[in-house]
Amino acid sequence: MGHQDVKFYQTGTFTVGNRLLPPEQRSVQSEIERTNSLNCGHRACQGCGEALGARYAIDAAMRATNNQLVAVNATGCLEVFSTPYPETSWQIPWIHSLFGNAAAVATGVAAAAKVRARKAGQQLPEVRVIAQGGDGGTTDIGFGCLSGMFERNDDVLYICYDNQAYMNTGVQRSSATPPAARTATTMPVGEHPGNDWGQGKNVPLIAMAHGIPYVATASVSDLRDLEYKVKKAMSMRGARYIHIFVPCPLGWGSASHDTIKLARLAKETGLFPVFEAEYGEVTNVSKIRQKQPVEAYLRLQRRFAHLFGKKPQVELIARFQAMADQNIHKFGLLGNDKAVVGFPDSEHK
Amino acid sequence: MNKPFAITLNVGSSLANKTGTWRTFRPTYIKRLPPCNNACPAGEDTQGWLYHAESGDYETAWRHLTQANPMPAVMGRVCYHPCEGACNRGQLDSAVGINSVERFLGDEAIKQGWKFEAPSKETGKRILVVGAGPSGLSAAYQLRRMGHQVVIFEAGPLAGGMMRFGIPKYRLPREVLDSEVQRIIDMGVEMRLNTKVEDLLKTMKDEKFDAAFLAVGAHIAKRTAIPAAESAKILDAVAVLRSMEGEDKPMLGRRVVVYGGGNTAIDVARTAKRLGAEEAIIVYRRTRDKMPAHDFEVEEALQEGVMMRWLSTIKHVGEGAIQVEKMELDENGKPVPTGEFDTLEADSVVLALGQDVDLGLLNGVPDLTFQDGVVQVGDNMMTGYAGIFAGGDMVPSDRTVTVGIGHGKLAARHIDAWLNGTTYVKPAKPELANFEKLNTWYYTDADKTVRPMLDIIRRQSTFDEVQGGLNEDNALFEARRCLSCGNCFECDNCYGVCPDNAVIKLGPGKGFEFNYDYCKGCGVCVEECPCGAIKMESEQT
């Protein structure tokens, strides 16, 4: 991946920090002075992956922009647990409007920043804009606004924290929910228990198809990679998109202490490919380090419990494995394999 | 009420919301016992000194190490390193080369001339140490550190005991031994060579010693009755190895047979090879896997051309030849004779059948108990006679240098307590940091650095040291392979992975604290701690 692995040290750069690393090579999260953009006292559940992912990403963006940052939030868990009136956990300028319009509001904030910059005689605005939301507000409800922001190439980084369902309202299915998963609206009953197969959408690939400057996926299990991608995104202008995988102990029925472990397994099984793309073309993938069978990931979650009852659903588990294997092939997740997906754009060659 | 439309409350921070009240389980930082420390017979804080070596602070590492063991350059060569056998990294790729880093630190100390600090106070107590082997030297060092006056009586012409008269030069160069002994003497320990204690109680009374630590070792070779021709040449291993230190090297002939299966037998055979013997054959009554010798030593001997004759006993020693009987193992693994005989050519036979202790100095001391030729001591290393302590090969234990160093340290603590009229109580062992407590995902793959070996020709003909040492680069690499089992090494993982920002980072060397006002008890920090230094416990109601 793009960040440097320091192999010499006992833990390399896999851990958050390392006392043996020179300070400039340490992560933002290892610093005593990190922003803590999302501060203590927020009301997220125990072991919330989204709260963690948001602090990782926004702290890194604050560092990258020298604290000149505004965040626009879609409705969702992140908004609800961080700002019950009149309290806020945010230690940055932050605005919330509606469920589906975060991308559009961010476009407006970016336009306003541009106008202010011009009036002050500057070429480019110093203040940068991030829009953020969950998978519901991104892949379903806010999708129209998001696609518009992409095609206009507005100067906004949109971050989607993907926990694979509408968790805030009681775990309803979204277009990011994986097949067979139990949610409040896809109960494990009938001939095809859980969420349907062959539905949903892959928003990172759709974002790439817009030909925007930067698209990346990241995971709370790989902090270094996540920080590297946010920093890189903030060094660019135009529409950028980062899709962060954030396990949800409540909605997935997993132990609160397994949040990072699950994110790690999603990547190591190949179910969640971690990569980055510029102008529609994959430029880098995070290789699988210790390949795991999908079962290791699925078993830890009660939303997939019906696959493992007295009579394990061997066929369905095999179908998950096929999904993972397809990702491994498509994105070249093993060895020296190259990604075979993408939307090459000759103009930016 | 100067508030905007529809706003009735002032903006507040979520810090008002003490989410710590949700918690049913509480994480706490703990120190678990690393398996290497647990396995060390000398009681070294291995993980502790490796921690300093990892940052390249070799002097602090050496000072930390020498709190338990004053002779790291020696031990880095001769210790059988049970620490490495216990090392958790062994289950990941290969054990950390603890022994080679120890040797590097020991050699570095000699190179840089690091000295032990003199004791800060003098207690005025006088203690007699009998025997300048590993155990006696270790006790003398520890007692001197505590401020006692120490006099070592050594019967031999030089200090070192079995380190000098038992371990061959190719494993332990004498200049290394000499400098580590000298460093102990430089602390103000008095060494009287060629001084054999004949009557212990009289010596103690004459010179007003308040206590004594005995560590005379086991130097008398065990014999066995083998029918032999008058002209047959039969020697014992202790005498052969001892004479290697003198002017006249032993005359062993072209074909040497060594009888026995321990490390001493291997040492003699390898020594014979270096003295020019064309054939050095070890005759042992059982099989290789049953040999008490360490396998790597057997392997090194085989590489050097030493031959092994398994499942054989010597029946008769003649002139220029011996008769051996083949053995076989019964169902209990015991060797039984088969009645088949063989003849081997041999100019000399060296018996390496174990050693006994010369207990002469204890004549006239009342209340002692002996069993199997050694002195019995209590948990406090004291014999039946108050004020007389003993350790090393003369008490029941494994006979290794490391055990001896450990005995010396332990005895010193008990002697000090006894002199003060108190009892030394060993601190309780914390729970073991076993492999299951680790999250090994976070450790980089890094294979062990192998120490260089002397080429085979020079190993067969010279007494040059066989195993080389690490240089600074690879010693640092090796130290950094340590997983720091059970002890925080400040990787910042807990600080980073807390979704509630409820871990407080205190700064370099100070570690972390939990902010229980906001910690919800999710347990992510415990799960993601690489080294198992956080524990989750149920909240008390």
DSSP A12-72: TTTSS--TTS-GGGS-GGG-TT---SB-TT--PPTT-HHHHHHHHHHHHHHHHTTT-EEEE
E strands along B397-523, which residues?
Answer: 503-507, 511-514
Is the CB of B492 less than 8 angstroms away from the CB of A46? no
Q: Cβ contacts of residue A312 below 8 Å, gap of 6+?
A: none
Give the number of residues written for chain B.
Answer: 541
Q: Which CATH architecture has domain A23-342?
A: 3-Layer(aba) Sandwich (3.40)
**In the Cβ-directed half-sphere of B453, how many Cα atoms lie within 13 Å?**
12
* Residue whose entry in the numeric block shows the structure tokens 């001339």: B113
Please give the single-letter amino acid code of residue B446. A
Contact flag A19-B499 (C-beta cutoff 8 Å): no
Q: From CA B427, how far away is CA B448, in angstroms rounded?
A: 33
pLDDT for A346 equals: 61
Tens of pLDDT along chain A (349 residues) come to 334 444 445 666 789 988 888 888 889 999 999 999 999 999 999 999 999 999 999 999 999 999 999 999 999 999 999 999 889 999 999 999 999 999 999 999 999 999 999 999 999 999 999 999 999 999 999 999 999 999 999 999 999 999 999 999 999 999 999 999 999 999 999 988 999 999 999 999 999 999 999 999 999 999 999 999 999 999 999 999 999 999 999 999 999 999 999 999 999 999 999 999 999 999 999 999 999 999 999 999 999 999 998 889 999 999 999 999 999 999 999 999 999 998 887 666 4
Q: Which residues neighbour A184 within 8 Å (Cβ) at sequence distance 6 or greater? A: A170, A171, A172, A173
Least CA distance to A35: which residue of chain B? B501
Domain B221-355, architecture per CATH: 3-Layer(bba) Sandwich (3.50)
| Per-residue CA distances from A68 to A92, A126, A128, B466 (Å) | 9, 7, 6, 64
Could you tell me the residue ranges of all domains in chain B?
14-31+488-538, 35-114+438-479, 126-219+357-419, 221-355
Q: Quick check: do B126-219+357-419 and B221-355 share a fold?
A: yes
* Widest pairwise Cα distance in chain B: 120
pTM flag (> 0.95): no
Q: What pLDDT is recorded for position A106?
A: 98
CATH code for the part of the protein at B126-219+357-419: 3.50.50.60
Min Cα–Cα distance to chain A from B491, Å: 5
> Minimal CA–CA distance to B127: which of B203, B195, B222, B37?
B203
Beta-strand runs (E) in B251-369: 255-259, 279-283, 307-309, 312-317, 321-329, 335-345, 348-351, 355-356
Instruction: Delimit the domains of chain A by residue range.
Output: 23-342
What pLDDT was estimated at residue A12?
65
Comparing alpha-carbon positions, the chain A residue that sits nearest to B10 is A86
Closest CA to A268 of A221, A307, A317: A221
A38 close to B (CB below 8 A): yes
Mutate to test the interface with A, among B481, B492, B514 (most CBs of A within 10 A): B492
- Phi/psi region, residue A200 (left: phi>0; alpha: psi -120 to 50; beta: rest), is left
d(C-alpha B145, C-alpha B115), whole Å = 13
Q: Does domain B14-31+488-538 have CATH number 3.30.70.20?
A: yes
Task: Give the pLDDT score at B477.
Answer: 87
Cα–Cα nearest to A161, from A258, A273, A248: A248
Distance from CA of B288 to the nearest CA of A (A): 37
Q: Tell me the ipTM for this assembly.
A: 0.94
State the pLDDT at residue A279. Answer: 96
3-state class (DSSP) for residue B310:
coil
Token reading at B169: 């030069």
Distance, in Å, from the CA atom of B392 to the CA atom of B377, rounded to the nearest integer, reads 11
**pLDDT score for A1:** 39
Residue A39 in contact with partner chain B when CB distance is under 8 A: yes
Chain B environment of A8 (Cβ under 8 Å): 477, 480
Contacts B500 to A, Cβ<8 Å = 40, 42, 44, 51
Task: For the domain made up of B35-114+438-479, give the CATH fold.
Answer: Fumarate Reductase Iron-sulfur Protein; Chain B, domain 2 (1.10.1060)
> How far does A75 lie from chain B, in Å, by closest CA?
18
Dihedral (CA of B189, B195, B199, B203) sign = negative
Which parts of chain B sit beneath pLDDT 50? none
